[in-house]
């Protein structure tokens, strides 16, 4: 199995962490691992754990990947995306032994506060994903107001017991930790132990759907008139950004952004002549997860082609 997990590697939602790592072991998650120093330390210090890192930034993914490869870590998987998607949709209830948030993005402006990760909804969700007897979330931050708001949020859920200690040595080696220590900022640490199981189980919100496609009759139109298509649907938004003609002249590719709850995928929808007519479907490229959103994307392209004279022979979505 690859060190990097892609949405398309997920067999189901939630998935089985033992399948993703190829072995049963206690699972630790780091959300927002940045350059991956702490993640690498964790993987080396805890060879008997499975360590999952989730990070939004592509540059950080690359840096962490190189660091982990140099270290020869085998008990780690990296996922580029939103920690909230992984916690809610990928991981089953009770599966997490530890969660680490080191210097999470503080979003200091008032109007951005709802972008903070450690708010009450996330604490409630996490309480359902942490192993009830031993599971804990460790927060280390230099941002006093974030620290206090996270403590308040956890307390408001009535699901955690907290332990305040000096930050662990390993959390002080990250890029941000070093930067703030150089500026003599106080670094705070708290461990949130899950004490109660929430009454609601927070089932996944993303529905994986079987591969979807349409067969159309008619000739593919001129691409010159293509303009960006934006479609809102119940679970998110599809934006068909651009259309391309392949070198073989017969296949059209539509570069499409699919945004669903905390899951953002860039996919290619193809339209190409086949034995039965024009096939429109999700191109098996880039390891996309086939979801309700990608199905909407296929429907968007189908609708665009139908507005240009093609007719639907068969639509499987």
Ligand X SMILES: C[S@@+](CC[C@H](N)C(=O)[O-])C[C@H]1O[C@@H](n2cnc3c(N)ncnc32)[C@H](O)[C@@H]1O
Q: Give dist(CA 38, CA 9) in Å, integer.
A: 25
Q: Which of 46, 71, 105, 149 binds ligand X (CB under 6 A)?
A: 105
- Which C-beta is closer to ligand X: that of 126 or that of 301? 126
Report if residue 117 touches ligand X, rule: CB under 6 A. Answer: yes
Q: Which of 130, 151, 154, 177 binds ligand X (CB under 6 A)?
A: 177
Q: How many CB atoms lie within 10 A of CB 244?
A: 13
CB of 272 to ligand X, least distance (A): 36
Q: Are 290 and 282 in contact (CB under 8 A)?
A: yes
- Which C-beta is closer to ligand X: that of 84 or that of 98? 84
Report if residue 170 touches ligand X, rule: CB under 6 A. Answer: no
CB of 102 to ligand X, least distance (A): 4
Q: Give dist(CA 164, CA 135) in Å, integer.
A: 16
Report if residue 97 touches ligand X, rule: CB under 6 A. Answer: no
Report if residue 293 touches ligand X, rule: CB under 6 A. Answer: no
Strands (E) located in the chain: 4-5, 27-31, 50-55, 76-80, 96-102, 136-141, 160-164, 188-194, 213-217, 229-233, 236-245, 252-260, 263-274, 277-282, 311-316
Structure tokens at 146: 């974030």
Report if residue 82 touches ligand X, rule: CB under 6 A. Answer: yes
Site string for ligand X, 32-71 (x = CB under 6 A): xxx-------------------xxxx--x-----------
Q: Which of 15, 27, 61, 84 binds ligand X (CB under 6 A)?
A: 84
Q: Is 295 helix (H, G, I), strand (E, B) or coil?
A: helix
CB of 262 to ligand X, least distance (A): 7
DSSP labels, 121-184: HHHHHHHHHB-TTT-EEEEEES-HHHHHHHHHHHHHHT-EEEEE-PPPGGGGSSHHHHHHHHTT
Q: Give dist(CA 241, CA 48) in Å, integer.
A: 44
Report if residue 175 touches ligand X, rule: CB under 6 A. Answer: yes
CB of 289 to ligand X, least distance (A): 17
Angle, vertex CA 235, rays to CA 231 and CA 236, nearest 5: 45
CB of 140 to ligand X, least distance (A): 8
Q: Which of 10, 28, 31, 87 binds ligand X (CB under 6 A)?
A: 31
Residues that bind ligand X (rule: CB under 6 A) add up to a total of 21
CB of 114 to ligand X, least distance (A): 12
Phi first, then psi, for residue 76 (nearest 5°) are -125, 145
- Which C-beta is closer to ligand X: that of 67 or that of 231? 67
Q: Which residues bind ligand X (CB under 6 A)?
A: 31-34, 54-57, 60, 82-84, 102-105, 117, 174-177
């Amino acid at each position: 199995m690859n060190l990097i997990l892609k949405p398309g590697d997920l067999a189901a939602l939630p998935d089985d962490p033992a399948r993703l790592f190829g072995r049963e072991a206690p699972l630790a998650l780091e959300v927002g691992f940045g350059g991956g120093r702490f993640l690498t330390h964790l993987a080396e210090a805890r060879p008997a754990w499975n360590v999952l890192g989730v990070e939004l930034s592509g540059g950080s993914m690359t840096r962490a990947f190189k660091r982990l490869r140099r270290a020869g870590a085998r008990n780690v998987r990296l996922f580029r995306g939103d920690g909230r998607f992984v916690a809610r949709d990928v991981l089953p209830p009770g599966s997490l032994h530890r969660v680490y948030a080191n210097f999470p993005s503080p979003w200091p402006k008032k109007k951005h506060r709802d972008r903070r990760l450690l708010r009450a909804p996330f604490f409630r969700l996490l309480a359902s994903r942490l192993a009830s007897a031993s599971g804990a979330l460790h927060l280390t931050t230099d941002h006093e107001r974030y620290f206090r708001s996270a403590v308040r949020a956890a307390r408001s859920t009535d699901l955690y017991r907290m332990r305040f200690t000096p930050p662990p040595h390993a959390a002080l080696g990250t890029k941000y930790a070093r930067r703030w220590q150089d500026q003599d900022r106080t670094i705070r640490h708290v461990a949130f132990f899950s004490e109660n199981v929430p009454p609601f189980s927070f089932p996944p919100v993303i529905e994986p759907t079987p591969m979807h496609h349409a067969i159309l009759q008619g000739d593919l139109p001129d691409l010159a008139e293509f303009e960006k298509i934006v479609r809102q649907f119940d679970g998110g938004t599809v934006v068909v950004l651009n259309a391309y003609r392949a070198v073989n002249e017969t296949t059209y590719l539509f570069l499409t952004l699919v945004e669903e709850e905390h899951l953002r995928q860039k996919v290619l929808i193809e339209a190409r002549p086949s034995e039965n007519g024009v096939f429109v479907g999700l191109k098996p490229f880039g390891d996309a997860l086939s979801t309700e959103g990608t199905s909407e994307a296929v429907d968007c392209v189908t609708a665009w082609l139908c507005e240009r004279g093609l007719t639907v022979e068969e639509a499987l979505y």
